[in-house]
Structure 1
Amino acid sequence: MATAEYAIATLAAVGFAGLLLVILKSAEVRGLLLGIITSALSVG
């Protein structure tokens, strides 16, 4: 029973990671994240 639960959780994690990769490959999302990181690092 536990093995099946681990397999389902692993498949869900892989699916989520794949979705995240597709989203992050978008140029708009990449530019938005870069802007957030740049503004966070340039304090002052």
Structure 2
Amino acid sequence: MPVPSTGAGSAPPEPDLRGRLSRLARDDEGMSTVEYAVGTVAAAAFAALLYAIVSGDDIVAALTGIVQRALSATF
């Protein structure tokens, strides 16, 4: 049942909406500890893969060349 508007602003939320928002704020549903652990392991594995790629000789040489060209560029 809607709350009548006083004309001075927006009407306050319905009690049903307040109850639902309150339940959402306290709700423990969502990712469980296992899901957090799997997500953390996946993130760590991805970071290790990126580190292995970036620390490879070809990438280091390419990045060094880019930096040297940028530092020796004349305008």
Q: TM-score range by the shorter chain?
A: 0.5 to 0.7
Aligned to 1:18: 48
Higher gyration radius (CA): 2
Aligned to 2:26: none
Query: 1:27 and 2:57 equivalent?
Result: yes
Indicate the percent of aligned positions where both proteins have the same amino acid: 40
Would you say how many aligned residue pairs link Structure 1 and Structure 2? Answer: 41
Q: Which has the higher helix share?
A: 1
Aligned to 2:8: none
Moved over 2 A (4+): 30-36
Specify which structure has the bigger relative contact order, considering alpha-carbon pairs within 8 angstroms and separated by 6 or more residues: 1
Letter in 2 for 1:4: V
- Structural RMSD (CA): 2.0
TM-score, normalised by the number of residues in structure 2: 0.43
Letter in 2 for 1:14: A
